[in-house]
Amino acid sequence: MSVTRRDALRTALLGAGSLGLRALATGLPVSLLTASEEAIAAGTCSLDMAKAQFIILSTSGSGDPMNANVPGTYGTIGGQQAAHCADPTMAETPFMLGGKATSAAKPWATLPVDVLANTSFIHHSTLNNSHTNQAKVQRLMGVITRQEMLVSYLAKQLAPCLGTVQREPAVVGANGSGELLTYEGRTLPNLSPLGLKSTLLSPAGPLTNLQKMRDADLDRLNALIKTSGNSAQKAFLDRLASSQVEARTISDTLLTRLDAIKDNGVTGQVTAAATLVAMKVAPVVSIHLPWGGDNHTDAGLLNEGKQHVSSCVAIAQLMQLLTDLGIRDKATFVAMNVFGRTLKKLGTAGRDHWGSHHATVMIGKNVKAGIVGGLEWKTNEFFAAAFNSTDGAINPSGDVPPLESLGAVGKTIGAAVGLPEATLNTDIKVGKLIKAALI
């Protein structure tokens, strides 16, 4: 990577004057670091800061068979059973989820207990069977205001509260142009984990001066408040400001994590995503975790099993990274793809496209552990069933029918990261907020 390109990327990631690093060093919102006394007095967040969350989104335009192996897809349903990978690494495994006994493919069941304690599996439809509709699914098939992508809409709401360098999402590891995100109609670039490592570690410097940055900014803001501020503003600054020890620890931790990136695979992507969240670069970071891909010809579903193992390991690694960085309760993980795959019919050898059932996975502080919705058997395949928004139970007369379930999932993701229900109901025209998935 050339110096010119590296410098341009560093500015894009960290903002002019390294605002991102300065926010990381001080613990203060970006708005305060450029503050006049008027900005200090007026800078507020319109959301509940106790609930506001960064989003790490895993998405795939391949239509991966993630849906076929999660809790709620095992056992006899309508006299039928779904097809599953016979490899022992994917064996049906019982475990507890939200205080209830369930089972899933072994990789899901063996996620750490503290991760499963805030994991919800929502069964729903994405209303399409085409890879090319990945962007449409991200826009909730047209039911979101101004045809914005869900995560871009959420990023816009979250950025002022999270104090990020940019409002736009950051895209890491998109598998082709179909997985790129847009923001206000503009396609966002893809940043590779190795590119991020090169930008921040070579030449050495950006992460080695956090303590000096912290002291310089806090000295300036303390002087400003001493001159024209009040006791409440001084208390606000003291409450948010990082200590010198914290700044040094964050720097050492990030340098170590970034240095460990060896490729652009799932481990590199989750490391990059956690780093970008820790540095408050963007309110949303998207990655690509594979779950079997477009597996029409996956004999024995062996590739499906292999990728489930690696991606569940990556989720566990992500959660541990967030914990190590002290931001576990500030980030919510979401996995939502373009469509699911057939659960019964195995096509030529593997699974076919199936827009009538998908499973979105949410993991975060505001997420209630459990299974929402499930399957029903119709004619020759399993479909996502209607369910109640209040308790998540399958109900033919439930207030979340399959045709409205994608919008309902969008609202629920929004609520999980801090947006109020009234705002979501105004901006997402279809679907009920799924309170069964929320704390």
Supply the pLDDT for residue 281: 85
pLDDT of 30 over the 70 cut = no
pLDDT tens, residue by residue, 208-242: 666 677 777 777 777 777 666 667 667 766 766 66
Model pLDDT for residues 376-398, shown as the tens digit of each residue: 999 899 999 999 999 999 999 99
Strand partners, 151: none
Number of CB atoms found within 10 A of residue 239's CB:
8
User: In this predicted structure, what is the pLDDT of residue 241?
Assistant: 66
β-bridge partners, 333: 56, 363
Share of the chain above pLDDT 70, in %: 82
Angle, CA 339 vertex, CA 338 and CA 344 arms, to 5°? 160
Residues 87-98: what's their mean pLDDT? Answer: 97
**Which has more confidence, 41 or 282?**
282
**62-80 per-position pLDDT tens digit:** 999 999 999 999 999 999 9
State the average pLDDT over residues 87-104: 97
